[in-house]
Chain A
Amino acid sequence: MKALLLLAAGMLVAAPAWTQNRVIPQAGLKSGFEFLSPDLKKMQLDDFANPGTLWVDRGEKLWRAEAGAAKKSCADCHGDARASMKGVAARYPQVDRHSGDLMTLEARILQSRVERQKAVPFARESEDLLALSAYVAYQSRGMAMEADIEGAARKHFDAGEAMFFRRRGQLNLNCAHCHDANWGRTLYAERISQGQPNAYPAYRLEWQTLGSLERRLRACLSGVRAEILPFGSPEYADLALYLSWRAKGLPIETPGVRR
C-alpha cells in the first residue's frame, strides 16, 4: 500500500506528457518561408530587394563604430564579425555564465554596450539595436539552429515550454493550438505557420520595418487578446529558447521577409 502511494506521488510530480516530446518531428519542420507567397519568397532570397538587408548594412557600420566612454567598437574586441560571429546566433538564447540569466541576442548586445563600451544602451526595437542584431545573426545565415537546453538553461527551457502550452488571453488559446495542431490551415486569409523563429530579426510587411522575435511574440499575445508583456521580459527569452529548441536544425534566414 505504501509503495503504491509512493508510486502515485511519483506520478503526480512527474513531468507533463509533452516534455521533451516533439509535437512536430524534426523532419517535418517548416520554416515560415514555406508559407510565403512566391513573390515574398523571391523578395527574401534577393539580397538587393530584401529590405532587411538595409539594416544589415547599417549594422556593419555600427559594428566598426566607436561608442561610449570606453571608446571601443564591437570590432575592437570581437574582430571581424564574419569570422567571430559565425554560428553565434544559431546558439542563442544562451545563459550568461556570471548572472545565470538567459540572454537573447539583443540582450547580449545591450549588455556589451553597457558593460564593455560604457555607452547608453539602445532602446528595445530601436533601429540601431535591430541593425546590430540583424548584422550579427546574418553571419549565421544558412546555419542550423542548435540552442543548448541542458545545464543552467534547463529551467529556462522548462519555463518556455510551459509558456508555450499555457492558455492565455480572452481567446483562451495556447501557442500549440495554432502552431502545433493547426499549422498549414487557414486563419482568416492567412495560412498558419509553425511559428518558427529562424528568420528573426525579420522584415515584416505588416510592420513595414525590421522587427525582433520579441515584437513578433507580442503580436501573437495581442492576437489572442492576452496581456502583452513589456519588452525585455524574461518570459520572452524563455519562450525563445523553447522555440529555438523546437526549430532545431532549421537554417537561420536573417534577415527574413514575413507577412
Chain B
Amino acid sequence: MSARIQIPAEAKRGEIIEVRILIQHVMETGYRFDDRGTPIARNVITSILCNYNGREVMRADTSSGIAANPYLQFCMLAEASGELVLSWVDDEGVRGTERASLSVSG
C-alpha cells in the first residue's frame, strides 16, 4: 500500500494552502462475495489522521461508504515550516504513513 500527499513546497506565513491526499487501499466493503460464494471480509480504512508539527490538522473516520483508493482534500493555515504527517489504519490493523515537507517564509 502506498500513499501520496500534495502540498505546495513553499508558502507565505498566514497563507491558506491546499492539501491533497491519495491512499492506495482496496476498501473492501464486507458486503461482497467471491466466486465461490464465500463472504469477503470487510477491510476498510477506519481512521485517517494528519498532523502538522505534532498538531492534528485533519482527522477523518472513514467506513465502507468510501470508494477504493480514497482521495481527500482539505485546507490548512501555513504558520511555520515543518512536516505534515499522514497516517491511517485499516480493519486488519495495518498502519501506513506518508510525509511531506512545507517551507514557510515571512
Give A residues with C-beta under 8 Å from B: 48-49, 51, 54, 57-58, 205, 208-209
Contact of A208 among B2, B20, B27 (CB under 8 A): B27
Interface size class of B (residues with CB under 8 A): 10 to 19
Q: In angstroms, how far is the closest chain A Cβ from the Cβ of B42?
A: 14
Query: Quick check: is B105 within 8 A (CB to CB) of the other chain?
Result: no
Residues facing A in B15-50 (CB within 8 A) are: 20, 22, 24, 26-27
- The number of inter-chain residue pairs (CB within 8 angstroms) is 27
Contacts of B4 in A (CB 8 A): 48, 54
Contacts of A51 in B (CB 8 A): 22, 24, 68-69, 71
**Sample of 4 further A-B pairs with CB below 8 A, known A48-B4, A51-B24:** A48-B22, A51-B69, A54-B4, A208-B26
Known A48-B20, A208-B67: A54·B26 in contact at CB below 8 Å? no
Residues facing A in B42-101 (CB within 8 A) are: 67-69, 71
Interface SS of chain A: helix, strand, loop or mixed? Answer: loop
Contact of A54 among B6, B27, B67, B69 (CB under 8 A): B69
Contacts of A49 in B (CB 8 A): 20, 22, 71
Contacts of B27 in A (CB 8 A): 208
> Are A58 and B2 within 8 A (Cβ)?
yes
How far apart sit A57 and B2, CA to CA, in the bound complex (Å)? 10
How far apart sit A169 and B68, CA to CA, in the bound complex (Å)? 32
Q: In angstroms, how far is the closest chain A Cβ from the Cβ of B75?
A: 16
Closest to B6 in A: A48
How far apart sit A160 and B65, CA to CA, in the bound complex (Å)? 40
How far apart sit A209 and B71, CA to CA, in the bound complex (Å)? 14
How far apart sit A209 and B69, CA to CA, in the bound complex (Å)? 8
How far apart sit A6 and B22, CA to CA, in the bound complex (Å)? 67
> Are B68 and A54 within 8 A (Cβ)?
no
What are 17 A-B interface contacts by the 8 Å CB criterion?
A48-B4, A48-B6, A48-B20, A48-B22, A49-B20, A49-B22, A51-B68, A51-B71, A54-B2, A54-B69, A58-B2, A205-B67, A208-B26, A208-B27, A208-B67, A208-B68, A208-B69
Closest to B4 in A: A48
